[in-house]
C-alpha cells in the first residue's frame, strides 16, 4: 500500500474557516464522486495555534499548514492511473487553486507501517473473526472503506469468545 500525504496552506486572503469549509464540503465531494484508484481519502484539518495571517510569524513557523490530506492506494499502478486520469487532471487538480496555496504545498509518498495492531474486536484472521461475543453479530461483517462500503463474508467463528 502507498499513501500520498499532502500538507497544504490556504490561499492568501482566505480564512482558515473558509478553507476548511471548501476543502470538506466542495473539494472532498468532488474527489469522492470518482474515487478511481483511491482506497481511502482522509482530510486532517489542523486546529492548533497556527491560524495567524500570512504575515504572522507564528503561522509560518509553528506548522504553517491548514490541512494534511492522505490518499491511500493499493499500489503504484493505482496511483499512476488515478493521477493520469482526465477527471483528476481536469477537475480535481484545477479545483485546488480555489482554496490551496499551491506553491507552498508539500507532498510525500510513503509506505505505511503499522506500529500498533488494530483493536481486538476488529482483528481478523482470514475471513473470520478472532474474537466475538456469542450473542452479537461479527463486528467485521461490514468493513467500511471511506470511498464506499464492502461486505465481507459472514463470521464463521462460533466457539471463540473474548478472553
Residues 144 and 101 in one domain: no
Has residue 16 been placed in a domain?
yes
Domain enclosing residue 126, as ranges:
120-151
**For 92, phi and psi rounded to 5 degrees?**
-65, -50
- In a shared domain, residues 29 and 53: yes
Together in a domain, 66 and 143: no
Asked whether residue 91 is assigned to any structural domain, the reply reads yes
Q: How far apart are CA 162 and CA 122, in angstroms?
A: 12
**pLDDT on residue 62:** 53
If residue 1 lies in a helix (H) or strand (E), which one and from where to where? none
State the pLDDT at residue 51. Answer: 54
| Residue 115 placed within a domain | no
In a domain, 47, yes or no: yes
Task: Please give the DSSP secondary-structure letter assigned to residue 155.
Answer: P
Domains: count for the chain:
2
How many C-beta atoms lie closer than 10 Å to residue 102's C-beta? 12
10-residue mean pLDDT series, the chain (163 residues): 94 93 95 93 80 58 80 96 95 94 93 87 52 44 40 45 44
C-alpha span between 125 and 122 (Å, rounded): 10
Could you tell me if 77 and 124 lie in one domain?
A: no
Q: Are residues 84 and 135 in the same domain?
A: no
Amino acid at each position: 500500500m502507498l499513501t500520498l500525504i499532502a500538507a497544504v496552506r490556504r490561499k492568501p486572503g482566505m480564512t482558515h474557516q473558509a478553507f476548511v469549509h471548501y476543502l470538506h464540503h466542495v473539494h472532498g465531494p468532488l474527489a469522492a464522486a470518482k474515487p478511481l484508484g483511491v482506497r481511502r481519502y482522509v482530510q486532517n484539518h489542523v486546529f492548533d495555534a497556527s491560524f495567524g495571517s500570512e504575515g504572522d510569524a507564528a503561522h509560518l513557523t509553528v506548522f504553517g499548514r491548514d490541512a494534511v490530506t492522505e490518499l491511500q492506494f493499493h499500489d503504484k499502478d493505482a496511483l499512476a492511473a488515478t493521477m493520469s486520469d482526465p477527471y483528476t487532471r481536469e477537475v480535481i487538480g484545477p479545483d485546488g487553486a480555489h482554496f490551496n496555496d499551491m506553491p507552498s504545498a508539500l507532498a510525500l509518498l510513503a509506505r505505511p507501517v503499522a506500529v500498533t495492531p488494530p483493536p481486538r474486536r476488529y482483528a481478523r484472521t482470514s475471513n473470520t473473526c478472532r474474537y466475538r461475543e456469542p450473542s452479537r453479530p461479527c463486528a467485521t461483517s461490514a468493513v467500511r472503506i471511506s470511498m464506499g462500503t464492502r461486505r465481507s463474508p459472514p463470521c464463521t467463528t462460533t466457539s471463540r469468545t473474548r478472553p
